[in-house]
Amino acid sequence: MGAMPFTLTMAGAVQSDPASSSDATTLLSQSIDLASKETYDGSFGGNIPIAGNFTPALGAISKIRYVVIRAVDGESLVASVTWANGANQLIPISDVFLLKAKNAGDELTALSVSGIGRIEYIIAGNKT
């Protein structure tokens, strides 16, 4: 029996309104639509405390294409990511971190979160 695909649906938008009524003549309300629906080979998530370092077991996922991490509480949480090209990056997380990599080569191959606090997360990706 083959692996069952997982579909993630994201809804909503990020919106910016003019700072004052005088800005409205030169800057109209801006919005970025975040709605999407994608199918991945695997998906998992949770709500966990972090006390040091958390590295999720990716199982069969070798290419992380979708990540959402929300800091529920805590300070100085940091995501450590490795991109498909081998580059490493540290990303502070004080609220929400979102990555959706649609193009081949843009995905992550490793991810961990360090610090002290609690996170909610969803990770999805493909085997190849």
pLDDT tens, residue by residue, 104-118 = 999 999 999 999 999
- pLDDT at position 34 is 81
User: What CA–CA distance (Å, rounded) separates 85 from 81?
Assistant: 11
Given a contact cutoff of 8 angstroms between Cβ atoms, the answer to whether 78 and 93 are in contact is yes
Residue indicated by tokens 């360090």? 114
Q: Are strands 88-93 and 30-33 parallel, antiparallel or unpaired?
A: unpaired
Q: Which two tokens mark 57?
A: 């077991």
Contacts of 21 (CB under 8 A, 6+ apart): none
Q: How far apart are the first and last CA of the chain?
A: 18
pLDDT digits (tens, 9 = 90+) for 7-63: 888 888 777 766 655 555 555 556 778 888 999 999 999 999 999 999 999 999 999
User: What CA–CA distance (Å, rounded) separates 48 from 25?
Assistant: 46
What residue spans define the domains of the chain? 6-126
Given a contact cutoff of 8 angstroms between Cβ atoms, the answer to whether 115 and 77 are in contact is yes
pLDDT digits (tens, 9 = 90+) for 70-125: 999 877 899 999 999 999 999 999 999 999 999 999 999 999 999 999 999 999 99
- pLDDT at position 2 is 47
CATH number of the 6-126 domain = 2.60.120
- pLDDT at position 115 is 96
- pLDDT at position 33 is 82
- pLDDT at position 1 is 39
Given a contact cutoff of 8 angstroms between Cβ atoms, the answer to whether 126 and 106 are in contact is no
